[in-house]
Amino acid sequence: MRISIENAIKELLDENVEILPAEVKETLSFLFDTEEGKECFNDWFQNNSMNSEEISGVDFEKMYSKISGHVKISERKSVSLVGFMRKFQKIAALFIIPLVIGAVTFLYYSQKSNRELSNELAAIANYDTNKVFPLNLEYVSPPGARLKILLTDSTEVCLNGNSKLYVSRDFGRKERRVKLNGEAFFDVSRNEKQRFIVDAGEIDVIALGTSFYVQAYPSEKTIEAVLLTGKVAIEYNAQQIILQPNQKYTYIKDNKEEELSKNIDTKRYKAWTDGELIFEDDTMEEIIRRLEHFYNVTIVVENPEIYSYGFTASLANCSIEQIMEYIKLSSPIEYKIIKNEIRLSSRK
């Protein structure tokens, strides 16, 4: 039996309610899964609002826990986390606290064991189109997940696991500037009057309207930029390098050297956003780095010669166990998985 939208919201906000009752879940399903429900919520939204004082004491972690009882998260495949994020964005857009100024929601996610908390995450959400627009300083994709974002200029961003995107409150007024810590794919909306700038630490990646990949994890030895379409400029030390499609720029942090690779296959730099990992005679050292970010695991190598082994494969929507089996079958490597740690050893 369904209950009123008002009562469903009250149950979400009530800190004494640990688990949502069946009638609340039924109401959420109705509002979230049916066109009639969306229309009902739209009518309710137009006539109801809450001010900041009313939400100042809300425990968003507890609210998330209650909502996650309605959303079933599959742990079998890493790619399922993307589906979870999309569904949670929809639920957040539908149910978390409409404000007087418009459809402002707090998108809060946490799993204490392997999620990095972001206390400054906020979004303006359009519940009809499932588009989430950054408003505050920091957007976080937790380890083992991928997070897709639509910026206010219609630029699409996909963050890989353990990545952060910082967006200025003034984004789009005088310039379009973001700062990246981690790995992301950008499909930039064209604007001849405003450059799109990705601050990647030591370098800036500058575009007008294009699609490109940037890897700028602070812990990595290099910063990489790969151009798929359009044109971008790499700015470092007051000098610019112009990238053409199918070119890759690499900045080596230790010696501050730059490298430019031409005629590369760019498919792998976009495929991961859809859950596909492509390896083309990559060394295990590179593969380990990518797997750790993608699946939120720690990989320990017991025999150093393993780092030099090569591996080629295209693996779509596979679990980490499946990938390790592929590696085992194609190379002299044994593996052992203990919770979030994988130990690799040479086969004797």
Residues 91-124: pLDDT tens digits? 443 343 332 222 223 233 333 333 333 333 333 3
Give the other-Cβ count within 10 Å of 150's Cβ. Answer: 19
pLDDT at residue 123, rounded to an integer: 34
- The ranges of the chain with pLDDT < 70 are 1-2, 5-6, 9-20, 31-33, 38-39, 41-137
pLDDT at 182: 95
Contact 105, 126 (CB under 8 A): no
Predicted pLDDT at 106 = 29
- Count CB neighbours of 217 within 10 A: 20
Question: CA angle, 130 as apex, 140 and 39 as ends, to 5°?
Answer: 140
What is the four-CA torsion angle of 153, 155, 158, 163, rounded to 10 degrees? -50
Which of 227, 239, 159, 167 has the alpha carbon at shortest distance from 197? 167
* Beta strands, E only, 237-348: 239-243, 247-252, 257-261, 276-283, 298-301, 310-316, 333-338, 341-346
Q: Map out the domains of the chain as residue ranges.
A: 1-98, 137-268, 275-346
What residue spans of 47-147 are helical by DSSP H? 52-55, 60-68, 80-95
At 71-80, the pLDDT tens digits run: 333 333 333 3
Report the pLDDT value the prediction gives residue 269, as an integer from 0 to 100.
95
Biggest distance spanned by C-alpha atoms of the chain: 71
| Residue 250, token pair as written in the block | 């690499």
pLDDT of residue 136: 54
User: Hey, what CATH class is 137-268 in?
Assistant: mainly beta
Q: How much is the pLDDT for 251?
A: 96
Predicted confidence at residue 144, as pLDDT, reads: 84
How many Å apart are CA 36 and CA 13, to the nearest integer? 24
Same topology, domains 137-268 and 275-346? Answer is no
Q: Which CATH architecture has domain 275-346?
A: 3-Layer(bab) Sandwich (3.55)
